């Protein structure tokens, strides 16, 4: 009971509003396992929805979202949506709804075993996402470039504590990796995100701030962020 109270005291209101009791209980079991591991993962398959939930519990590091998204892209797994939560003690509880590029559930046990081992290696620094993607390209499985220009908006009025970044563009494998890698390279942290895909269009919203927890302000800085994203999002994976 003490662990439950401690957990509830460290999570955000958004986590409490969006997380069911059963899933929260699973998070608590994963948190106990984290005491003896660097990363804990759990899979929930939903064949009726054509997707799976991948839950990742680990200690937060700069660019964590990018590391996970890149590993998934390198293994040909598409992110449909994501909920990212970081407790007050710096432990991240991130859930990714995923499928294959054809919109089917990834059910291969061998594929998931390889992916989860690669994710553990990436999050512990034993492997680099760039190396995984290079292997994918070398095997002739490189993803294509963008199908159209992205629409990028940055707003400092919608939130009291973060800059709201919205990206709308055709969805494709690795899109979230390109976005989150660019934000990490700009020394920006993602406080929360809403990832949505409708048919073939991605509408992704990120609440971001700098490493000091401040909004992105100044016309020149905002233009630099917008320009870096526009350049990154037309590149192939």
Q: What DSSP string describes 86-133?
A: E-TTSEEEEEEEEE-TTS-----HHHHHHHHHHHHHHHTTSS-HHHHH
Q: Which residues contact 73 (CB under 8 A, 6 or more apart)?
A: 133, 143, 173, 174, 176, 177, 237
Q: Which residues of 199-234 are buried (b: 16+ CB within 10 A; e: fewer)?
A: eeebebbbbbbeeeeebbeeeeebeebeeebbebbe
- Phi, psi (degrees; rounded to nearest 5) at 69: -60, -40
Tens of pLDDT, residue by residue over 73-84, are 999 999 988 899
Rounded Cα–Cα distance for residues 156 and 126 (Å): 38
pLDDT, mean of residues 175-188: 95
Rounded Cα–Cα distance for residues 45 and 17 (Å): 23
Least confident of 173-187, 189-203, 214-228: 189-203
Judged against a pLDDT cut of 80, whether residue 133 lies above it is answered with: yes
How far apart, in Å, are the Cα atoms of 195 and each of 3, 180, 190, 234? Answer: 30, 12, 12, 19
Judged against a pLDDT cut of 90, whether residue 173 lies above it is answered with: no
pLDDT computed for residue 149 by the predictor: 84
Distance of CA 206 to the CA centre of its chain: 10
- Classify 85 as helix, strand or coil: strand
- Classify 227 as helix, strand or coil: helix
Judged against a pLDDT cut of 60, whether residue 31 lies above it is answered with: yes
pLDDT computed for residue 237 by the predictor: 73
All structural domains of the chain, each given as residue ranges with its CATH number in brackets, are: 2-138 (3.30.70.260), 151-232 (3.30.70.260)
pLDDT computed for residue 147 by the predictor: 62
Average pLDDT, the chain: 92
Q: What percent of the chain has pLDDT over 70?
A: 97
pLDDT, mean of residues 183-201: 88
pTM above 0.75, yes or no: yes
pLDDT computed for residue 196 by the predictor: 84
Count other C-beta atoms under 10 Å from residue 17's C-beta.
7
């Amino acid at each position: 009971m003490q662990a439950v109270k401690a957990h509830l005291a460290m999570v955000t209101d958004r986590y409490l509003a969006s997380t069911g009791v059963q899933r929260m209980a699973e998070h608590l079991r994963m948190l106990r396992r984290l005491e003896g591991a660097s990363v804990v993962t759990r899979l929930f398959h939903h064949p009726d929805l054509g997707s799976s939930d991948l839950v990742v519990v680990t200690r937060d590091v700069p660019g964590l979202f990018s590391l996970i998204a890149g590993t998934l892209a390198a293994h040909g797994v598409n992110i449909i949506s994501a909920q990212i939560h970081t407790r007050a003690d710096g432990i991240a509880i991130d859930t990714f709804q995923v499928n294959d590029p054809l919109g089917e559930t990834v059910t291969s046990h061998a594929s998931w075993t390889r992916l989860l081992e690669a994710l553990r290696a990436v999050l512990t620094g034993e492997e680099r996402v760039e190396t995984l993607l290079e292997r994918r390209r070398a095997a002739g499985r490189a993803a294509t470039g963008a199908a159209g220009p992205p629409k990028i908006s940055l707003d400092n009025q919608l939130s009291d504590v973060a800059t709201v970044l919205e990206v709308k563009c055709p969805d494709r494998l690795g899109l979230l990796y390109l976005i989150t890698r660019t934000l990490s390279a700009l020394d920006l942290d993602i406080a929360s995100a809403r990832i949505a895909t409708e048919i073939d269009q991605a509408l992704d919203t990120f609440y971001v701030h700098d490493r000091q927890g401040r909004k992105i302000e100044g016309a020149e800085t905002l233009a630099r962020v917008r320009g870096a994203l526009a350049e990154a999002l037309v590149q192939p994976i």
